[in-house]
């Protein structure tokens, strides 16, 4: 079992190695987040419990394929689930994640937007769309989405972190620092072991 000191050294080495290798820490952390926990009931009276079981089976299959890095096959599984029930936002979030990981940012945006239309309180859909917009250089849109994440989940450290990075890209250093400082406090209080290191490096660069 690693002691806190050893874990701290390892995390510090990881961050420094990424910096030395030219990895953008924001890009490293702003990766899409798969949705796995929402409850859902099929809306149509024509659907029965067996159909719901089938949809969930495709969802689990897609998730397992995603975890093993087989995103094209994961998309196929999510496609089959969506064909059966196009009203479940979680399916679009997860398909969007696989599309984004394959570099299909436009396709991912379409999926995240549809997920938001179906389930407007799903913070993961806003967060993923914000991440995707950030990668496409659409920083104003990213700020809007991360602001919605923060409205839905006021203690979401990654919401403040993502918005702070977008403000930085727009040249609003003061607001970027403000958001990053909030993200730092939240991530520390929540026991996050990597984000505080990344934020500290970013703040050192901005100050």
Residue 40 is predicted with a pLDDT of 52
Tokens of 149: 């994440």
Separation between Cα atoms, residue 64 and residue 71, nearest integer Å: 10
Looking at the structure, give the CATH architecture of the domain made up of residues 139-207: Alpha Horseshoe (1.25)
Q: Where in the chain is the domain with CATH 1.25.40.10?
A: 45-120, 139-207
pLDDT digits (tens, 9 = 90+) for 74-87: 999 999 999 999 99
pLDDT tier, 48 (very low <50, low <70, confident <90, very high otherwise): low
Residue 81 is predicted with a pLDDT of 95
pLDDT digits (tens, 9 = 90+) for 175-206: 999 999 999 999 999 999 889 988 998 999 99
* For residue 23, pLDDT beyond 80: no
Angle at 198 between CA 197 and CA 201, to 5 degrees: 90
3-state per-residue secondary structure call for 2-52: CCHHHHHHHHHHHHHHHHHCCCCHHHHHCCCCCCCCCCCCCCCCCCCHHHH
* CATH code 1.25.40.10 for 45-120: yes
Q: Which has more pLDDT, 139 or 14?
A: 139
Q: What is the DSSP letter of 196?
A: H
Residue 92 is predicted with a pLDDT of 96
Separation between Cα atoms, residue 72 and residue 47, nearest integer Å: 28
Residue 1 is predicted with a pLDDT of 46
Residue 74 is predicted with a pLDDT of 96
Is the sign of the CA dihedral 182, 188, 194, 198 positive or negative? positive
Residue % of the chain over a pLDDT of 70: 77
Residue 49 is predicted with a pLDDT of 77
pLDDT tier, 47 (very low <50, low <70, confident <90, very high otherwise): low
Residue 63 is predicted with a pLDDT of 92
Burial class (CB in 10 A: 0-12, 13-18, 19+), 87: middle
Separation between Cα atoms, residue 188 and residue 24, nearest integer Å: 21
Average of per-residue pLDDT values in the chain:
84
* For residue 112, pLDDT beyond 50: yes
């Amino acid at each position: 079992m690693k002691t806190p000191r050893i874990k701290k050294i390892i995390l510090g080495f990881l961050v420094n190695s990424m910096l030395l290798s030219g990895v953008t820490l924001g890009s490293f952390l702003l990766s899409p987040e798969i949705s796995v926990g929402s409850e859902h009931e099929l809306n149509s009276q024509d659907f029965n419990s067996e159909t719901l079981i089938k949809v969930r089976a495709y969802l689990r299959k897609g998730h397992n394929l995603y975890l093993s890095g087989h995103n094209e096959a994961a998309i196929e599984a999510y496609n089959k689930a969506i064909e059966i029930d196009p009203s479940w936002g979680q399916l679009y979030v997860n398909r969007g994640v696989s599309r984004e990981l394959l570099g299909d940012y436009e396709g991912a945006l379409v999926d995240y937007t549809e997920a938001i239309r179906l389930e407007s309180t799903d913070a993961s859909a806003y967060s993923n769309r914000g991440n995707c917009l950030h990668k496409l250089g659409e920083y104003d849109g990213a700020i809007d989405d991360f602001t919605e994440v923060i409205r839905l989940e006021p203690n979401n450290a990654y919401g403040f972190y993502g918005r702070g990075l977008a403000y930085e890209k727009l040249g609003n250093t003061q607001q970027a620092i403000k958001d990053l400082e909030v993200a730092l406090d939240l991530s520390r209080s929540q026991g996050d072991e990597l984000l505080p290191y990344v934020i500290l490096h970013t703040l050192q660069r901005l100050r």
